[in-house]
Amino acid sequence: MNKRDVFINCPFERRYERVFLALIAGLVGLNLRPRSVLEIDTTHDRVRRIWSLLRSCQYSIHDLSKVQLSKPAKNRGKFSVPRFNMPFEAGLAVALAQTTRHQWKVFEEKAYRIQESCSDLNGYEAFIHDLDPEVVLRKLLTAFMGHL
Instruction: Write down the domain spans for the chain.
Output: 2-147
pLDDT digits (tens, 9 = 90+) for 96-123: 999 999 999 999 999 988 888 888 888 8
Cβ-contact 19, 63 below 8 angstroms: yes
pLDDT of residue 91: 95
3-state secondary structure 41-70: CCCCCHHHHHHHHHHCEEEEEEECCCCCCC
Report the pLDDT value the prediction gives residue 76, as an integer from 0 to 100: 60
Q: Provide the pLDDT confidence category of residue 82 given band limits of 50, 70 and 90.
A: confident
Measure the CA–CA gap between 6 and 107, rounded to whole angstroms.
Answer: 14
Q: Does domain 2-147 have CATH number 3.40.50.450?
A: yes
Is residue 33 within 8 A of residue 6, CB to CB? The reply is yes
Quick check: 14 pLDDT over 80? yes
Rounded distance between C-alpha atoms, residue 99 and residue 45, angstroms:
23
Whether the pLDDT of residue 75 is over 60: the answer is no
